[in-house]
């Protein structure tokens, strides 16, 4: 038994996202988001599916709350669908009261069940109308104003009911996967300003910059006009993996490890904590990486009340020789699952990018804590898929020992980071409460502690991990 622990009052629960679970795409006046549109493009989603039905959570809020209670969850992180609340998205467009009131009731119901709501304002589902109208995040000035307006509508509607706000979820994913590789909505692989197909060397960086300014503007609005009444906190959620050198004896691989984290996480973290982009990014990207005006830098610097950390896995990193490709977004390096000695970083899962390596969690949160002056962390996602889970016989599927071990390893590593490395962590949301629409992978990949029977009327069946996770927290959270 470990002598590590998590602090008294530690907030734990589960995370989900609107497009991945809600379904009901046009109910009560919701309009399309970029993900609705993207899913209709043949070939974009592995199994040709979409979030049209998903877990039908829009109509099953009571069932989802009952599941949370059954697991013993103290908190629930979920996202609002912007295009339910303002279907056309913009600051001059009408607010859809029905969509908004759906969430107000949901928050009331959660609170009545003793579950603390943690709201993500933006989990990738930009109203499609804003993409069509002005290119979404490519148009910084319009996007920032519209996002601030949407955020204000939400802050006001939930005033004094919500203590945890997250502006953006994983801006890296929307910027890179949406505007460089094209794997995610809106699926761009080529800059508007360039004719050459496959040249996406500037758009991702413009999009990232817009996210940062919009985050700063929403935080300012919250702090100026709502925080005092709410007593709440606001932050941004950033994703990133831990890195180990492919060849620990090669200084260039060791250096590339930090550079990988800078390109993935510090791209957003450094502006939020220091008001500037990392030097390694400026060096590689030059003026393709936007500059902060002094006003923007001041707006963004210091804009986190807490650091929202999404973390899943680790990789081996091998530096690359020569000049970086103009489309490179990694920091000019290779991301590998095995090191020079042929050792694997962790066992395979259903997700090609995800190999569990719990010690990497402890190392990364310490690395970030050191870099950013020991901020308060909330882990806003952590979890795993399981190789072949979708094809297991039902009984076996409910015995997800692999996922239980994952949580045991990762929560233990987090307790070590807290108790032994002095990291200030206050909460943890497991990904995910339910199996759900796993973006471009469709429904083949499951991440839930609850099995969702998609062909059996979306019926929920808790897996073993749904119970085990509470037992693990029970062991680690200090009582006194």
DSSP state of 291: P
* Smaller CB separation from ligand GCO, 157 or 433: 433
- Say if residues 459 and 453 touch (Cβ distance below 8 Å): yes
Cα–Cα distance, 131 to 257 (Å, whole number): 35
Three-state DSSP at 244 gives strand
* Smaller CB separation from ligand GCO, 169 or 233: 169
* Smaller CB separation from ligand GCO, 169 or 175: 169
Q: Under rule CB under 6 A, which residues in 236-255 are in contact with ligand GCO? A: 239
Cα separations (Å) of 358 from 33, 37, 99, 274? 35, 37, 39, 29
- Interaction between residue 17 and ligand GCO (CB under 6 A): yes
Shortest Å, Cβ 203 to ligand GCO = 20
Among 142, 148, 170, 389, the active-site one is: 170
Cα–Cα distance, 18 to 58 (Å, whole number): 9
Q: For strands 459-462 and 450-453, give the pairing.
A: antiparallel
Shortest Å, Cβ 369 to ligand GCO = 21
- Interaction between residue 431 and ligand GCO (CB under 6 A): yes
* Smaller CB separation from ligand GCO, 4 or 432: 432
- Interaction between residue 120 and ligand GCO (CB under 6 A): no
* Smaller CB separation from ligand GCO, 239 or 339: 239
Q: Which two tokens stand for residue 288?
A: 């393709």
In terms of Cβ atoms closer than 10 Å to its own Cβ (0-12, 13-18, 19+), residue 62 is exposed
* Smaller CB separation from ligand GCO, 17 or 386: 17
Q: For strands 242-245 and 314-319, give the pairing.
A: parallel
**Binding residue for ligand GCO, selected from 241, 270, 296, 381, defined by CB under 6 A:** 381
Shortest Å, Cβ 322 to ligand GCO = 31
Report CA dihedral (153, 179, 327, 282) to the nearest 10 degrees.
-10
**Binding residue for ligand GCO, selected from 93, 128, 170, 244, defined by CB under 6 A:** 170
Lay out the site mask for ligand GCO across 184-223 (x = CB under 6 A, - = otherwise).
Answer: ----------------------------------------
Cα separations (Å) of 388 from 55, 337, 348, 385? 20, 19, 10, 9
**Binding residue for ligand GCO, selected from 83, 149, 167, 169, defined by CB under 6 A:** 169
Cα–Cα distance, 4 to 476 (Å, whole number): 7
Residues 6+ apart with CB under 8 A from 60: 458
Shortest Å, Cβ 422 to ligand GCO = 27
**Binding residue for ligand GCO, selected from 447, 451, 454, 473, defined by CB under 6 A:** 447
Q: Which two tokens stand for residue 103?
A: 């969430």
Among 148, 381, 438, 441, the active-site one is: 381
Per the annotation, the verdict on 170 as an active-site residue is yes
Residues within the interface to ligand GCO (CB under 6 A): 17, 20, 169-170, 239, 310, 381, 431, 438, 447
Q: Which residues are catalytic?
A: 170, 381
């Amino acid at each position: 038994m470990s002598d590590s622990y998590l602090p008294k009052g530690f907030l734990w629960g589960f995370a989900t996202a609107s497009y991945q679970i809600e379904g009901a795409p046009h109910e009560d006046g919701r309009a399309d988001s970029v993900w609705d549109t993207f899913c209709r493009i043949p070939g974009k989603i592995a199994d040709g599916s979409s979030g049209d039905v998903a877990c039908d959570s829009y109509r099953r809020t009571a069932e989802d709350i009952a599941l949370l209670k059954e697991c013993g969850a103290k908190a629930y992180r979920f996202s609002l669908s912007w295009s339910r609340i303002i279907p056309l998205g913009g600051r001059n467009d009408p607010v859809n009261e029905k969509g908004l009131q759906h969430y107000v009731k949901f928050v009331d119901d959660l609170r009545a069940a003793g579950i603390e709501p943690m709201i993500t304002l933006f989990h990738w589902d930009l109203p499609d109308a804003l993409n069509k109208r002005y290119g979404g995040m490519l148009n910084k000035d319009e996007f920032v104003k519209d996002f601030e307006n949407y955020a204000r509508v939400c802050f006001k509607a939930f005033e004094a009911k919500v203590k945890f706000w997250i502006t953006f979820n994983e801006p890296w994913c929307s910027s890179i996967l949406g505007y460089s590789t094209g794997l995610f909505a809106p699926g761009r692989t080529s800059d508007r300003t360039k004719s050459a197909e496959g040249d996406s060397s500037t758009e991702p960086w413009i999009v990232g910059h817009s996210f940062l300014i919009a985050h700063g503007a929403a935080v300012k609005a919250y702090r100026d006009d709502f925080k005092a009444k709410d007593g709440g906190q606001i932050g941004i959620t950033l994703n990133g993996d831990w890195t180990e050198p492919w060849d620990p004896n090669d200084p260039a691989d060791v250096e590339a490890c930090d550079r990988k984290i800078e390109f993935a996480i510090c791209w957003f973290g450094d502006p939020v904590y220091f008001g500037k982009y990392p030097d390694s990014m400026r060096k590689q990207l030059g003026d393709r990486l936007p500059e902060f005006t002094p006003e923007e830098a001041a707006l963004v610097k210091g804009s986190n009340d807490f650091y929202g950390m999404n973390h899943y896995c680790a990789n081996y990193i091998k530096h690359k020789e020569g000049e970086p490709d103009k489309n490179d977004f990694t920091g000019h390096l290779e991301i590998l699952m095995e090191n020079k000695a042929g050792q694997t970083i962790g066992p395979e899962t259903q997700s090609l990018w995800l190999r569990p390596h719990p010690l990497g969690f402890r190392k990364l949160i310490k690395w970030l804590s050191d870099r950013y002056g020991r901020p308060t962390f909330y882990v806003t996602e952590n979890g795993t898929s399981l190789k072949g889970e979708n094809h297991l016989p039902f009984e076996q599927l409910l015995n997800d020992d692999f996922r239980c071990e994952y949580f045991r390893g990762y929560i233990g590593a987090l307790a070590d980071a807290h108790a032994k490395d002095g990291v200030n962590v206050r909460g943890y949301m497991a990904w995910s409460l339910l199996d759900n629409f796993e973006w471009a992978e469709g429904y083949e990949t499951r991440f839930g502690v609850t099995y969702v029977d998609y062909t059996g009327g979306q019926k929920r069946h808790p897996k073993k991990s749904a119970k085990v996770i509470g037992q693990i927290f029970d062991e680690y959270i200090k009582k006194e």
